[in-house]
Each structure stands twice: as C-alpha cells, then as structure tokens.
Structure 1
Amino acid sequence: MPADTAMKREDGSTWLGQPARALSPLDAERARAEIASLSEGAADMGCPRLAGLLAGGGPLAGFLGAVFDLSSYLRDCARRDPSILEALFDEPLAGRLERLNRQIAALPFAEDASEASVMAALRRLKREAHFLIGLGEVAGEADADTTVARLSALADACVGAAVDFLLRDAHRQGRLRLPDPEQPGKDCGWIVLAMGKLGARELNYSSDIDLIVLIDPHAPAVHEPVEAMDLFVRLTRRLVRLLQDRTGDGYVFRTDLRLRPDPGSTPLAMPVEAALNYYESRGQNWERAAMIKARPIAGDRQAAAAFLRELQPYVWRKYLDYAAIADVHSIKRQIHAHRGHGEVAVAGHNVKLGRGGIREIEFFVQTQQLIAGGRFPELRGRQTVAMLKELAARGWITAEAGRALVEQYWFLRRVENVLQMVADEQTHTLPEAPQELQRVALLLGYGHTETFAAAFRQALRTVESHYAALFETAPQLSRGVGNLVFTGDVDDPGTLQTLSELGFERPSDICRVIRGWHFGRYRATQSAEARERLTELTPALLEAFGGTRRADEALLRFDQFLSGLPAGIQLFSLLQSNPRLLALLATIMGAAPRLAEVITRRPHVFDGLLDPALLSELPSRAYLAERLESFLGAARVYEEVLDRLRIFAAEQKFLIGMRLLTGSIDAARAGEAFSDLADLAIGAAFEAVEAAFAAVHGRVAGGRAAILGMGKLGSRELTAGSDVDLILLYDHDPQAEESDGGRPLAASHYYARLTQRLIAAVSAPTAEGVLYELDLRLRPSGNKGPVATHIDAFRNYQRKNAWTWEHMALTRARPVAGDATLCDEARAEVEAVVGLPRDMAALAADAVKMRDLIEKEKPASGPWDLKLIPGGIIDLEFIAQVASLSGRCTASPRPTATGAVLASLSPDFADAQTREELARAHGLYMTLTQSIRLCLTGPFDPQDVPPGLADILLRGVDLPDLSVLEAHIAETARRVRGHFDRLLRDRG
C-alpha cells in the first residue's frame, strides 16, 4: 500500500483490519514522546511509510502511542524492529501471522540450517508474531478466542520447526535413518505431545508450554533400539535449549516437561511401553484429567495417535471406581474451601487461580468430563469453551449457566493476556499499585480503573455463583445427610454408616466425641440453648469436616477448640447462619494444625473472621497502622499496652494467614504484611518501653534510639513462625554522661538496660502469650558485644572489623522503628557500607566458603528442607547478598528483599535467563515456605502432610500432585546450585 494511501486511511480504518480500539495512555506527554521517538527510529531504519504515518499524528498514531506507553514489552519490540509495523502496509495482520508461521515451519529445511541459525531465526520470528498477536488483541482486531488460537498456532509452528531441525540434524550425523527427510517426523520414533493449554489450543500470552516426550524404540528410523533412549533424551535436552534458552534475541517458549509420568525419577523422554505400563498400573486421576488435553504436536504423529488411542480406556472409563469418585469429591472440596468468603479484592487478585477465576471453570469442565466422558464420547473434547457448550447442549448444565461461563471465561482470558502483555511476564496477579492497576484497565480499553474493577468483580461473582451451583447439582455428586443420632450411650448403626459415608474413618470414636458435646461436659455446651443450637448445627459441621479428607483429625481439633471456649451459643449461632465461616473453620481444622492450635488457645482471634470485608482489604501497612491505633485506643498503662499489642498481633497474624490460606493474597504479599505487622507492633512496644523507662530513669541529653530490622524482617519476608532479628542503635550528646531521672544511669548502661526492657516486653510470655521471639545475635560482635550499639561504634565496626558474612547480613538491614533522624542516619550508613568497593573474587570466595561450612555442619534434613538443600533458599540469599555488596544490583533504591535483588541482577553478573530462573525459584520457595510455616509447627513430611495443606500447596504453585511438586523442587534446586556455582564459586 502506498504511504499516501495509508495516510488517507487515518480515519482509523487501518492496516489492523478494522478501526483501532480507542485507548488512553497513562501519561499523554510520554505517549507523544514514544511516537516521536519511534517515528525518528523508523526513518533511520528504512521504514518511511511508518515514519510518515507516525509523524502525521491522527487516530492510529494516538492508538500506538497509548499502547507503547502502557506496555513496555510491545514498545520495546517496536523500537527494536520497526519493520514489523512497516510490513503491515503490504499485508494485513492476520495474513502476516500466517506467513510468519510458514516461515517458521520452513526453517529446518534451509540448506545452511544450523542450531545457531535456527535458534536466532526462531526467536526473531516468534518475537514479531508475538508482538502482532498482542497488538491485534489490544486494537480489537482479534478477540480472546482468536488470540489464544494464534498463540497456540505459533507455539505449534515453533515446536514443530525445532523438532524437525533436530531430527534432520540427527539424520545428517547418521544417528537416525529417516525414511523421508522432507517429512522428518514420519516413522521417526520421537513423539512430542502438547499438554495443558497448548494441548487445548488455549495458550495465554506469556505461557509456558507443557510437553510430554515419548519414544518408540522400534520405529523404522531407529538404528539400534537399545540406543534409542540415550539418543532421544539428548535430543529432548536440545529441544528444551532451542526453545527456552535466552540469547541476545530473547527466547521462544519456556518449556515444561513435568507432566510426564513420575517426573522425579524418569528421564525426559521415556519409551511408549513404559508410559503405558505406568498409566495402567500407577496413573492417578489428575493424570487422567491432564491426558484429556493431550495432542500430538511434533515428531512421529502417527505413533503419537496410536499411543493416545491405546490410552483411551485409561482416560475414559465407562464406570467410575470409588477412588475416582473420591478424587472428584476432593476437587469439589477444594472449590468449596475458598468460595464465598465475602467481597473480592481486585488489586492483587489472581485471575487464574483466585476465587471466580479461570481455573474454576476449567476444573468444573474437566471433572464433568472424567465423570461422564466414558459413556458420552461427545464430552471428550480438549477445549474448555467447546465442552461448556456441549455440557449445556446435553443438559448437564443450564443454557444460562453455559452462556454466562463462556462469556466470563473469555473476559478473564482477555484480562490474563493483557496483564501478561505489559512486560511479557508470566503473571496472573493483578497489580496492587493503583497506577499499575490503571495501566491494565486502560490497556483493556476501560476509561477508569473503577469501571474495570466493577466488571471484574461481576465476572468473578458470576463464575463463583454458577460454579458453586454446578457442583451442588452435578450428576453423581449430590447426596443428603442420613441418620445422625447421638442420644443415649450406644452407637446408632445408621449414624455410623452416615459418618463413614461423610468421610470419617473411626465413626464410633466420632460418635463418642459428639455425645460428649451434648452431655454438656464443656463450658461452651453447658446451657440448654447452646446444646440446642449445636444440635441444629451438627449435620453441617459433620459435612464440613467430612470434606477435609482427614475428617477425624479435623473434628478432634474442633473438639479441642470447643473445650477451651468460655461460651458457645454465639459461635454456634454464627456458624449456623454463616456457611462461609464454617467452611473457613473446616479448612483450618483440616489443613492447618498451627492455626488450629492458635484458635484453640486464643478463640478470640476467630472474631476477626466476622468482618465481611476481610478478604477484600489488602493488609497494607496503612491498613494495619489504622487498626493498631484504634485497638490500642486509650490504653495508657504499660502492661495493658503490651497485652493489647499481643492480642492485636496474634489476631492480625491469624487474619493475614487466613488471607494466604484462602488465596486472597500470595506469599510475597503475606511476607510483606507479616513484616509490616512486626514493624508496627515492635515500634509500638518500643514507644511504650521508652516512656515507662524514662519515667524511672529520665532521658539522656540528645538521646536517640533506632531499631534496625535484620534477616527476614529487614527483607520483608517474615513468615507466620519467624523469629525477629534486630539491632538497637543509639546516639546522644557527647557531653552527656548519664540520664536525668530519679534513678540516673550512665548513657551506655541506659541504652543496654532499655534494650533488655524491650526484649522482655516483646519476648516475655504473659497471659496473652509472646509478641515475638527476638534475636539480637546479628549485632556487632554478636553475643559477646553489648546488646545496644552506639551509632559511631556501629559505623566503626562495620567499616573496620566486620566479617564478610556480617556485611552480607547488612544487605537486608532496614530501619523499622525509633527516632526518625537516627533511622535516616542508620539507613545512610548501611548504604555506605554496602556500597564500599570490594574485590569480587575475595567476596565470592568468602560466600562460597560460608555456604560450604553451613552445608557441612548443618546439612538439609531432606528434599523439603527448602532453606538448607543445595540450591535452596540460602544459595539464593547468598547470590543476592554478594550481588548487592559488589554493586551488581541495578534497582534503585537498592532493595533489601531477596526476590527483588535477584530480579534486578546486572547483565554483567547474570544474563536474563539466569535472573528469571533465580527469581522464579525464590518465588516457588517463598510460596511453599509461607504456607508450610503458617500451617505446621514442625518440619514438612510429605508422607504425613494434612491433605488439606497438600491441596493448598498445590494450588499455590499450580501443580497437580506432591510427587510432581517434589520433582519440580529438585529440578529447581539443581538449576539454582548450577547458577550459584557459576556466579560465585567460579569467580572465587
């Protein structure tokens, strides 16, 4: 198309295929600057038509300016290669995408094709297609349905090209004897199956691709069947590298092979016969569900189709056995465990895994397919929406429910795509920062964040309400409660049967416990009215606890809780009228022994759950500060302040934990909230201690004190069970010798005694428990030094005498309370010490030496000891700390959080792929650690984990089974250790 023609079509009927959607930028001035810069760059790089169009202004230029202001990823793609847009003058977007897929497919057949050339071309062509697919979505040229189909077709082309190249390369080297090199996959024996969203052709914008790779060692192309395993495992490793490794040209797709059988102990590619034997003898129901979406994508498609045909009886059973029904019920329980808990927060909500999200729709469809697909072949499709329509057409769900869920599914998928389009990040969580949330809203075409938030909440409510109703009315899942008789002292046979059906393993023991309630043996059940309410509540209680998978333990924990209540009628009335509270209580009793112990010892913390807005309000510092001020109220007596602080902190820890447990916040947000709570509580305790201490001993002239948070408090990564690491710093007038009170103390003695009072105020057990366990061992000279440190002594020690490990610990230091001016001085001093010039080799050598010593003296207790395993949390923390001390962190201001440091390692220290893998590893470890520390008081034992906790962990990392998670941890740790060795050990 001539440039002048393009200009004449500036009414918006553009080369995007239709008028571009009107978008507003966050910053209009910046958007204009982006267009001016791109116009100039386009002219310099030989794109005159694009340069002229942009320079002329108009609706299309305005649209592109808004896009590039809102999405750094799309902006950077356009800056890097303006010819992507220039090409649209000659070919519409849809046609250009088809051409790119054909070019990708042709790559392996070029005469000069090499691994390097194919890697580079794949990345260049994928980046162009990815950019155009994103532009089409935000312009309104494509709907979400079209976008996911385009993304899936792009992934198909890329995987197919990589596999074809590797097969032809193996043929050239004589390792394979392909019957037809022009059709490399034919009879090659290498089977590549697409799973998950790629298998269903429903890929999201920045998605991983899930693959399973199998081998037919007797295929015609294989020379020696006994060598086939070794050959195809090597080819699979190369395939992952071709697709996943980041180079100067970027990456193609992150590739995940964890859905293969028993991933912790099987090779990356396994023989078809071994896979079939596994599925038939040991396959689990989640694997059956995963296989619904399996699709041949590359390699030997004929062998792949034969494998899937042979697997049909395993996936599609004519009759469900008891174990399968139990698994479906367990999925139902997961859904009920986190539904209906009040209003939903938009900021920070997980579009995929959160309440009312994408996964709920997918879960329901898959469970119905497992239930009925064996008898109804029409329910065996891979695609979510197609199966929703089929379920409605066949009467499994109402037509209205089908329409509503399809509509909201595509709405949520569009939100997910646009969220990932901002920076090409694999995120599903809406931003918390108002400006970033506004960015997403504007990119979706909403004029205001509030308009988007209202639409988003409505979508979640629609999904949640239909979802709950679907499960309650789903065929083969509905049942009523049978006999429940607890009078007399003899077990009623019908009641025992009912309890067994509800999920209790020792129904006679459960009968005895419940009879104890009705006999009024606890204070909570002594009144006739309380027993009457409890009798009415009992069926619902038993159903709720029966749904926790370890029902007996859950009910016995509730019995302990009941035994400590001073009264019961109010609680029973609340639970009877508030099903969401009952569901939360069942979740706690079934999944979280630690939380169950908390509410057993302190029943009042449960009161916080009565707030209907609980889960819609993020526990920000401002939110917690406001509630703390209100809770302390007019308390003036020292002991009363400390008791109220304990009550407040216990309740808020519990409520933060409940938000994490129900998926309202993620692990990173929970760490920040636990840390903010500690800051505020310790700060308030310190104020009370200072005032009480000054009343007796007066004050030191010019005296100032500040608390430096260290360790996980400093990095804002506290968990529910963390100790708190502190250093108390002080300063005073040089001439001041002692305090001015009735019982004066020398200045150094004054602050030492003040610190000891603080330790007692925070750590001493009272009737209300302990506020926090304090650890002051990170102060200068450790346990041998004074408990309080003068700022000058701190400065002198850190600059002259501190060991490397002490400077590493200092990278996480953060003032958390005390005099504002001294906090500023301490912060500046920490930054000055961290920024001192250092010899990188010596620094790395010291860090490696310390890591080796820890590994020798305190080895990991097992694969779930996430802190101590080689490649675990300590490795990540050491990498981040060395990077901070050597100036290899690009973020400004320098962050103290380990994850933030890892995500901003400088390119000369770690390449983009390394940064991404380290940050993702830290995210995985934090997600698991937060939930485990919240729910358990001791170490995690996968052989004896409460099933409810297993569900929570798996939901948090979006994996189907603990064995897959354990394999993922092992693979993650292996990669982290490799990075640790390369970044530190090899430099030391």
Structure 2
Amino acid sequence: MQAIFDRAVRHSPFLSMIINREPDFVLDIEAALNDPIARSWVDDPEMPPARRLRISRRRLALVTAIGDLSARYSLERVTGLLTGFADRALDVAIRTAIAERVPDAEPRGFVAIALGKQGSRELNYSSDIDPIFLYDPATLPHRSNESVEDGAARIARRVVELLQARDGDGYVLRVDLRLRPSPEATPPALPVGAAISYYESQALPWERAAFIRARATAGDIALGEHFIDAIQPFVWRRSLDFGTIGEIRSISSRIRDHYDDVQQFGPGFDLKRGRGGIREVEFFAQVHQLIHGGRDVALRAPATMDALAALAEAGWIGQEDASMLSDAYRLLRTIEHRVQMIDDRQTHLLPEKPEALANVAALHGLESGEALLDLLRPHVAMVSKRYDALEGEGDNALPADPERLRERLEAAGFADGEGAVRLIDKWRGNSYRALRTAAAKEAMEAALPGLVDALAASADPHAALLRLDKLLTGLPSAINFFRLLEAQPSLAALLSAILSHAPTLADALGLRVSLLDGLIDASALDPVGEVPALITDMTPRDRSGDYEALLDHVRRVVGEKRFALGAQIIAGASDPLAVSAGYARVAEAAIEVIARATIAQFAQVHGTVPGSELVILALGRLGGGALTHASDLDLIFLFTGEHSAESGGAKPLGAVMYYNRLAQRIIGALSVATAAGPLYEVDTRLRPSGAQGPISVSLAGFARYQREDAWTWEHMALTRARPVFGSDAARGAVTQAIDAVLQGARPERPIAAEAARMREEMAAHKPPLGPLDAKLLPGGLVDLEFAVHVQQLCHRSGFSTDLGRAIAGLIEAGLLPPALASAHDFLTRLLVTLRLVAPDGQPPAEASRALVARAVRAESWNAMLASFDTTRQEVRDCWEGLIRPTKGE
C-alpha cells in the first residue's frame, strides 16, 4: 500500500494535498477501503452542512483513488462510490435548503432527477452532476410571504451554492442545470406537471437519449418516481421515430466537428469526445437502446456496460462487439480518472506535453507516455470503427434529373423505368399529404436508394411500386415510415416482398403503417409464443390504465402479431401450418385478456353471480387451433351455476340477463374497430337455437339441448368445440358435457344423409370464390371436414379438436384413407397462403406463383396445380364414398 501512496504523492498534487491534510484518515485507510462511504462521511452536527460535505468529499476522493490505483476497486466500484456520495450530498443539500427557509418542515415536494452519469451511477472522478430540479406546488414548503414558484427557485439556487461554492476545504460538486427544458428561459426548478407536459409534447430528440439514464436521486423520491413513470412513453416508444436516431448520430458528428483538434489519437486526445472515445461507446449503446428498448424492457439498462451486455444477450449486437466495447470503455474511463486525479480538474484530455503525459502514465503504473498511448491505441481504433459502421455509408441519393433517374432505376432492375420515374416524381411533388413537409421529403430521400434497390429485386417491381404508391396515398405522414426503412435496410426487402405478393398485408399496412415497426424485432419471423406468453404481451404493464386503453393495447399487439405471422409466410420463414396455429394462439390470448378485463369492468356495476362463471367455447377453425389471416371466431358463451341466480352489485341482474349482457360486451370489445384497428369478426350462430336464441346459455341448458334437440350439423360442429376461457374446473365441466354427447348421449339420426343434405345446401348458398378456393371447391377443406366429422359421429372414434390429429386417429382406425392426412396439410397450407396472396380465390399474379408453390411444398406452380387437382379428387372420392349409400334414402 505504501507504494500506492508514494505514486499518488509523486504524480498527483491533488492527492498529495489530501494526504497531508488528512493524516488520521490516512492512518486508518484499510478500514476506509473496506467501508468508504461510512468512513469518509463527516457527521458532526456542530459543523455547518456545507463544510461537512466538503470534507467528506475530500476524504472519499482519497479513498476512492487509493482503491482504484491499487486495483482493489473495479471501475464499477469506483463510479458507484462517486455516484453514491453525489446522491447523498445532493439530498443533504436539498434538505438543508428547505430547512433554512422553512424550519421544521418536512423535506418534501422537491426532487432532483439525475441525468447523465449520475443517473446511470457512472460518475467520473471530477464529474459535474446534471440534475433537473422539480417541485410539487401542492406540497413544497414555502414561506408565507413568497409564492411557491419563488420559494422553489430559491431552494434550487441554494442547493447549487451549497454544493459548488469553494473555500479552504475545496468544494463538493459542480452542478450543471442546463439539461432542464429551455434552460435559457426557465427558472432553475420546474413544476412537475409542467415538466411532464413538456416531455410529452415539446421535447427534442436528444432529450430522449438523456432520459435513458434518468433517476430520482435526492429529495422527494416518490415525486421523482411519479415523474419518471409519467414520461416513460416519451423515452421508450414502441413505434419509434427514427429521426431520433439520426439526431443522436448528428450530435456525435457535431462533436467531432467542434472538437476537431482533439479528435485524432495522440497527445492531446479527448478521451471523452474524441473519435473512438467514451462518448462514442455510450452513443453506440444508446442508439440500439432507443431502437429496440420500446419493445424490450430488458434493454433499458442505464449503465453503458450493462446496456451493451443486455443488447448482446438479446442478439442486437454481437457478443464480441459487446465485450470489446466494454473493455475499451473500462480502459478509457480508467485513464480519464487518472487525468482528473492529478489536479481534480474536470478534464478529459490527455496532456500534450511529453512530461505531463508521462506523469499520467506513471500514475497509472506505466513506464512512459508512449506506453500509455500504445495501451489505448487499439481500443480507440476499434471503437471508432464500430461507431463509424453505425453511422452508415455516405450519400447515395437518387438523381433528381428524370433521365438520370430513369437510367438508375432501369439499372437497378425496373423494366418500366419511365413509369417508375413518374411515380417518384409524384412523390417528390406536393400532391401527397404524407409528403408535403420538408422533414417528410428529407426522410423519403434518405430511404429511397435502399428501398428502390429492394423493390427492384422483388418478384414484381412494378406491382410493388404501385402498392407502395397506394400506401403513401393513404398515410397522414410518411416521416416515420421512411426513417424506419432508412434505419433498418433489411426491412425494405421484406416490405418489397409484402408489396409484391400480399395485398392483404399491404392493405393492412396502408391503414396502420406502424405495423411495420413490429418487424424490427429479431424474433418477428419466429413462431409466436404460447398462449400464456401472448397474454403477458397483451396485458399492459401499467395496470392502472382505463378499459379502453387496454382494448387499444390488445388491438395493437394482435395487429402486430397477425401482420408478422403473415410476413413469415411471405418471407418463407415458417410453414403455413405453424402460422395457422400461431393465428389461433393469438386469438385465444386476445379472448382471455379482453374477457377478463370486460368481466372486471362489468362487475363494478353489476357485481358477480354467486357460484357461477362465464365459459367461452370456441368452435370451427379456432376450436381446431388453426386460423387463417381472415378467419372469424366461432364462439358460444356459457355460464355455470343456476340460471335463476342473481348478481350482487349496485345494479343486480338475473343470471341469464347478466351473462347475455356480459357476452354482448365481450363480442363488442372483440369486434368493434377503434383507432388502433379491428380485431375479429365474431360469429355466434352456432349457439343453441341459432341466431334466434339467447347469446349466452347455462351449461346445463347447453348440455340438455345438445343431448335432446341439436341437429346433426351442430353435433358436427361440436367435434371441434374447445373451451378457451374459464377456470380449469369450468372448462372441465364443459368438456365433460361435450364428450358425453359425442360418445352417444344424443338422438339417433341418419348422420351421413343429413350431412350430405347440409353440404348441398351450403354449395347452393355459398359457392366457391374462384378456381383456387381450397375451402369451398368440391374436394376442398369443407368436404374433408364433413368426411371427418361424419366418421367421428358415426363411429364415435378419432375425436380431437385438432383436425390433423383427428384424421390420423381415423386413418389408424381404418375409417379414412391414408391420403387424407397429406390432403389436409396441402389444402390447409394453400388456404392460409392464398388468404394473403389471392384472397379472391383467383390465380395470383405470375410473380407470386412461385411463393405459393414453395408454401405448399410443391416444386413449381404447375406441380402445385397438379397436386391441387389430385388432392381434391382424393377428398371428393372419400366424401362421395361416405354419402353414396344415402343417395337412395
């Protein structure tokens, strides 16, 4: 330890001064190293607060330096100690300032929000602190002869004076209040309500980055946390304004330009602002956090090295990049501390003079200034290279001259260069509402080169360009749309594929362009999660929001999930069978979240029905867990308990009325469109007594109806009935009642004959949409489903709500031909794909046919058509073979 003290005395006048002034503290340095804050803190009530803070700071500066120089303390420990002291000193200053003005008052209603390195607990050795002072006019103590605004301003000025005034004992902290809103025009302390309004409506993009590291640090912490919570939507946006990213990058560029003389590495290099320095590591992390942190809470780590680790863990940056940047950051910050330890100056510059540079090196334990530069050089070069890659390439704007633009477009791959020029010229004019502002035009020009190349590489560039034009026609603003494409070039290729092949998705994008945001996540093209995980996604983190806000949140999430699932098919990333199951899981999760919230809201007025609960039964494709993008939801609403019961609450209702009104509320919540978009069409015609019966019936009434009065087609529907909402006990009771009916507790009927008549009526009233209607054409999925359900009911075998499993069971029992398993898979893949590519059942455009063939696992379009004909013939033969004996009846 003596060698460390010798090095400190020899190379740091500041540390030497403290050692001379604190001999008793130095003698007990081992104890101080083990408990630095407590041992450094002066707690003499007879001493003025400002002097206590100055001496405490001086002692902590010494013990932190010794711990650092001796390698007893890591960088995180050093910065944590410095930040912990700053937090405590700031709190003491606030309490002192309030007590001086209003003795014996509770120190509440005034808070310091730490930004920058104090906010992330990363203060450097001689750092400024950058707080924002906020107050609550309703609770801040103030003198009777002054306004609360004046009192708050005086408290703020006194806090600054206590911390940064100097005397023979030094100072406590330098305080910079310039990060508050409009510092040139606002008082030093702001009302918390006004601050929230500012950040919600007027704040500049760079302020978002600043608030990544915001923390309520001193004073009325509860008030500060209220403020932080209120502005989270400003900081972390799901639909990101990519202009913010450009703004953060431009800050770095302006710093490079302004400090050009200290950018190049060598003597005089700025460790903080220099090219490849500390700030570029911080900005590298923050840019990625701003892009992805709105959707992933785990990325919102304030500290730089924590953020890099989180980004690597989530796969947004490479593990090697995170490790190398963290190592560089640790070294740069450590040498920054050495520079500041020498004279306790807030500097970040390596000395220019050789002897001064050698002194910094010696303080760090190196032999020479050259050795220090050699240590830093590879890290600085690596950071600069990583950050330059983040900055992007140089200008690649499309030509303004029509002839040069046509040549550029034709060279890219547009066959009709003239037509493409005409469209782009229209976008550059003022005829589109979304593109009238200078900011929108700037964003478009920045994104166009990459977008044009992606469109040109798509299967049908002209069709994609026309759909993009239609999309732009309907947008209120195109700024975010183009900035997103500029910031995420890989999205342009996927967007081009969607515009080329999927009118269903293109139309959805035209109604809600923010759907594209959902594709920036690395997992967007992975299968969607299981129902519990989807329920978590659809449940707002802020549970205090109102019912309508929850519905909008669910609609947004469902829209994003469905759009991403469709994009998986277009991108060839997922089997349409898996996508179909994903659609169903999304719908089931939405039903759970919306039903739960609707029930809670309904109970506030009407209470609950004792011994009773709602059960929602899914039938059709949802019951079978296999939806398409366009599927509606076939639902039956049941309730357990006695139908004669009555609810409690301020406005009690009988059970039948209660559950019918509740069911109507849930149906409305699922189907009524709002600004966030629609969810699903809900079909309840499969309920007992059809459209003429009550929407919700008791479980006992439902079971009795199915046993005694239901028609064959209703029993066929029951084979895919599955509870999707209700307690485990209630779901079990419903499943038990259904199983009893399917296993024979029902009237004897000529099942095949009645099914045949029903299929004929369906064919007459609902003909196929076109020559590729995989559902309604003879030998399509409806015929296949009828064949399955007839065999299930006739033989009481092969029951499973999953049609594929039911077919497998019937094949194993010898009740269906083996070819029907592959027929089911082929027809389902085709149906799910064509709902996106050719929803009218007509053959898609030539460019999209290879995509359809790929989706159904055919070698070519012609091979797909041949398989379609063969498959339909196999299904038709099976179906007609089942109903042929009934023709004479």
Q: Specify whether residues 662 and 888 from structure 1 end up closer, same or farther in structure 2 by C-alpha distance, changes over 3 A only.
A: farther
Conservation of the 8 A alpha-carbon contact between 2:598 and 2:665: yes
Give deviations 1:556-595, integer Å, cap 9, x for gaps: 3223333455555554344234332111110111111111
How far did residue 970 of structure 1 move?
1.3
* Other structure's SS at 1:706 match: strand
How far did residue 861 of structure 1 move?
4.3
How far did residue 852 of structure 1 move?
2.8
Q: Which residue of 2 aligns with 1:902?
A: 807
How far did residue 606 of structure 1 move?
1.1
- Aligned equivalents of 1:830, 1:717: Cα separation in 2: 20
Give deviations 1:447-500, integer Å, cap 9, x for gaps: xxxxxxxxxxxxxxxxxxxxxxxxxxxxxxxxxx9995335xxxx334334434
* Other structure's SS at 1:516 match: helix
* Other structure's SS at 2:616 match: strand
Q: Specify whether residues 831 and 627 from structure 1 end up closer, same or farther in structure 2 by C-alpha distance, changes over 3 A only.
A: same
1:882 aligns with 2:784: no
Q: Which residue of 2 aligns with 1:927?
A: 829
- Aligned equivalents of 1:950, 1:885: Cα separation in 2: 39
Conservation of the 8 A alpha-carbon contact between 1:870 and 1:973: yes
Say which of 548, 560, 580 aligns to 2:458.
548
- Aligned equivalents of 1:735, 1:758: Cα separation in 2: 22
1:615 aligns with 2:516: no
1:658 aligns with 2:567: yes
Say which of 941, 945, 958 aligns to 2:842.
941
Say which of 636, 641, 644 aligns to 1:727.
636
Q: Specify whether residues 733 and 941 from structure 1 end up closer, same or farther in structure 2 by C-alpha distance, changes over 3 A only.
A: closer
Give deviations 1:209-266, integer Å, cap 9, x for gaps: xxxxxxxxxxxxxxxxxxxxxxxxxxxxxxxxxxxxxxxxxxxxxxxxxxxxxxxxxx
Q: Specify whether residues 838 and 708 from structure 1 end up closer, same or farther in structure 2 by C-alpha distance, changes over 3 A only.
A: closer
How far did residue 807 of structure 1 move?
0.2
Q: Which residue of 2 aligns with 1:744?
A: 652
* Other structure's SS at 1:732 match: coil
- Aligned equivalents of 1:839, 1:888: Cα separation in 2: 14
How far did residue 838 of structure 1 move?
7.7
1:667 aligns with 2:568: no
- Aligned equivalents of 1:524, 1:857: Cα separation in 2: 44
How far did residue 503 of structure 1 move?
4.6
Q: Which residue of 2 aligns with 1:627?
A: 537
How far did residue 705 of structure 1 move?
0.8
Q: Which residue of 1 aligns with 2:70?
A: none
1:692 aligns with 2:606: no
Counterpart amino acid of residue 594 in structure 1: T
* Other structure's SS at 2:464 match: helix
TM normalised by structure 2 equals 0.52
* Other structure's SS at 1:815 match: strand
How far did residue 946 of structure 1 move?
3.4
TM normalised by structure 1 equals 0.47
How far did residue 940 of structure 1 move?
2.4
Aligned residues: 494
Conservation of the 8 A alpha-carbon contact between 2:854 and 2:860: no
Q: Specify whether residues 636 and 950 from structure 1 end up closer, same or farther in structure 2 by C-alpha distance, changes over 3 A only.
A: same
Structure 1: 5+ residue stretches without partners: 1-480
Conservation of the 8 A alpha-carbon contact between 1:483 and 1:498: no
Q: Specify whether residues 568 and 784 from structure 1 end up closer, same or farther in structure 2 by C-alpha distance, changes over 3 A only.
A: closer
How far did residue 984 of structure 1 move?
4.2
Conservation of the 8 A alpha-carbon contact between 1:863 and 1:966: no
Q: Which residue of 1 aligns with 2:12?
A: none
Give deviations 1:43-96, integer Å, cap 9, x for gaps: xxxxxxxxxxxxxxxxxxxxxxxxxxxxxxxxxxxxxxxxxxxxxxxxxxxxxx
Q: Specify whether residues 496 and 872 from structure 1 end up closer, same or farther in structure 2 by C-alpha distance, changes over 3 A only.
A: same
* Other structure's SS at 1:615 match: coil
Counterpart amino acid of residue 515 in structure 2: V
* Other structure's SS at 2:841 match: coil
Say which of 695, 707, 719 aligns to 2:616.
707
| Mapping 1:250-261, distance limit 5 Å | none
Higher relative contact order (CA 8 A, sep 6+): 1
Q: Specify whether residues 527 and 734 from structure 1 end up closer, same or farther in structure 2 by C-alpha distance, changes over 3 A only.
A: closer
1:678 aligns with 2:580: no
* Other structure's SS at 1:510 match: helix
Say which of 509, 512, 520 aligns to 1:602.
512
How far did residue 532 of structure 1 move?
3.9
Q: Specify whether residues 839 and 821 from structure 1 end up closer, same or farther in structure 2 by C-alpha distance, changes over 3 A only.
A: closer
Counterpart amino acid of residue 552 in structure 1: H
- Aligned equivalents of 2:570, 2:720: Cα separation in 1: 27
How far did residue 981 of structure 1 move?
2.3
Q: Which residue of 2 aligns with 1:800?
A: 708
How far did residue 536 of structure 1 move?
4.0
Give deviations 1:899-949, integer Å, cap 9, x for gaps: 2211221545436xx22x10111111111111111344x41221xx23453
Q: Specify whether residues 607 and 748 from structure 1 end up closer, same or farther in structure 2 by C-alpha distance, changes over 3 A only.
A: same
Counterpart amino acid of residue 885 in structure 1: L
* Other structure's SS at 1:614 match: coil
Say which of 813, 817, 826 aligns to 2:721.
813
RMSD (Å), alpha carbons:
2.8
1:954 aligns with 2:853: yes
- Aligned equivalents of 1:616, 1:761: Cα separation in 2: 28
- Aligned equivalents of 2:697, 2:791: Cα separation in 1: 27
Say which of 783, 789, 796 aligns to 2:691.
783
The share of aligned pairs that are identical, in percent, is 36
| Mapping 1:394-409, distance limit 5 Å | none
Conservation of the 8 A alpha-carbon contact between 1:483 and 1:495: no
Q: Which residue of 2 aligns with 1:311?
A: none
Counterpart amino acid of residue 664 in structure 2: Q
How far did residue 898 of structure 1 move?
1.5
| Mapping 1:308-347, distance limit 5 Å | none
Q: Specify whether residues 658 and 632 from structure 1 end up closer, same or farther in structure 2 by C-alpha distance, changes over 3 A only.
A: farther
Conservation of the 8 A alpha-carbon contact between 1:503 and 1:546: yes
Q: Specify whether residues 843 and 792 from structure 1 end up closer, same or farther in structure 2 by C-alpha distance, changes over 3 A only.
A: same
Q: Specify whether residues 732 and 839 from structure 1 end up closer, same or farther in structure 2 by C-alpha distance, changes over 3 A only.
A: closer
Counterpart amino acid of residue 650 in structure 2: G
Give deviations 1:13-67, integer Å, cap 9, x for gaps: xxxxxxxxxxxxxxxxxxxxxxxxxxxxxxxxxxxxxxxxxxxxxxxxxxxxxxx
- Aligned equivalents of 1:617, 1:783: Cα separation in 2: 36
Conservation of the 8 A alpha-carbon contact between 1:888 and 1:905: no
1:636 aligns with 2:545: yes
- Aligned equivalents of 1:819, 1:767: Cα separation in 2: 32
1:558 aligns with 2:468: yes
Conservation of the 8 A alpha-carbon contact between 1:708 and 1:816: yes
Give deviations 1:143-187, integer Å, cap 9, x for gaps: xxxxxxxxxxxxxxxxxxxxxxxxxxxxxxxxxxxxxxxxxxxxx
Counterpart amino acid of residue 517 in structure 1: W
Say which of 640, 645, 662 aligns to 2:554.
645
Conservation of the 8 A alpha-carbon contact between 2:642 and 2:698: no
How far did residue 508 of structure 1 move?
3.3
Give deviations 1:616-666, integer Å, cap 9, x for gaps: 45433244233223x454253111111111111111111121223223221
Conservation of the 8 A alpha-carbon contact between 1:621 and 1:673: no
Conservation of the 8 A alpha-carbon contact between 1:524 and 1:563: yes
1:851 aligns with 2:756: no
| Mapping 1:467-486, distance limit 5 Å | 485-486=399-400
Conservation of the 8 A alpha-carbon contact between 1:888 and 1:909: no
How far did residue 504 of structure 1 move?
3.8
1:535 aligns with 2:437: no
- Aligned equivalents of 1:734, 1:783: Cα separation in 2: 20
Say which of 844, 864, 869 aligns to 1:965.
864
Q: Specify whether residues 860 and 560 from structure 1 end up closer, same or farther in structure 2 by C-alpha distance, changes over 3 A only.
A: closer
Structure 2: 5+ residue stretches without partners: 1-394
Counterpart amino acid of residue 774 in structure 1: V
* Other structure's SS at 1:900 match: helix
Counterpart amino acid of residue 899 in structure 1: G
